[in-house]
């Protein structure tokens, strides 16, 4: 991948499981949108520290974000519901 390339993914996340929005070592992303089809927690993770940024109880679409993530400081979406949900994100690679 190269700077300004689009990064995006979507996957089913089981109840109690998480999707990390985290690039590989030495890479940085600018996350611009995140979506979840059900109850979840959006967290910022840095090492062993996790901060819950928001905890919607239904489907949510966060758009217009300007959130830089690296392999050590990243975002995590955790499914807090009783069944699987779809979670996805989109952004670009940055220097």
Residues 34-70 have pLDDT tens digits of 999 999 999 999 999 999 999 999 999 999 999 999 9
Q: What is the pTM of this model?
A: 0.95
pLDDT at 59: 98
Q: CATH fold of 6-94, please?
A: Jelly Rolls (2.60.120)
> Taking all residues of the chain, what is their mean pLDDT, rounded to a whole number?
97
Q: How far is Cα 15 from Cα 63, in angstroms, rounded to an integer?
A: 24
pLDDT at 1: 79
Residues 7-39 have pLDDT tens digits of 999 999 999 999 999 999 999 999 999 999 999
- 46: Cβ–Cβ under 8 A, 6 or more apart, which residues? 72, 73
């Amino acid at each position: 991948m190269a700077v300004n390339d689009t990064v995006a993914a979507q996957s089913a996340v089981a109840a109690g499981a998480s999707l990390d929005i985290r690039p590989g070592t030495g890479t940085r992303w600018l996350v611009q949108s995140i979506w979840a089809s059900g109850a979840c927690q959006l967290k910022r993770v840095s090492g062993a520290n996790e901060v819950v940024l928001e905890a919607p109880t239904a489907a949510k679409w966060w758009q217009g974000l300007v959130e830089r993530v690296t392999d050590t400081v990243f975002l995590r979406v955790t499914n807090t519901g009783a069944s699987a949900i779809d979670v996805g994100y989109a952004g670009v690679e940055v220097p």
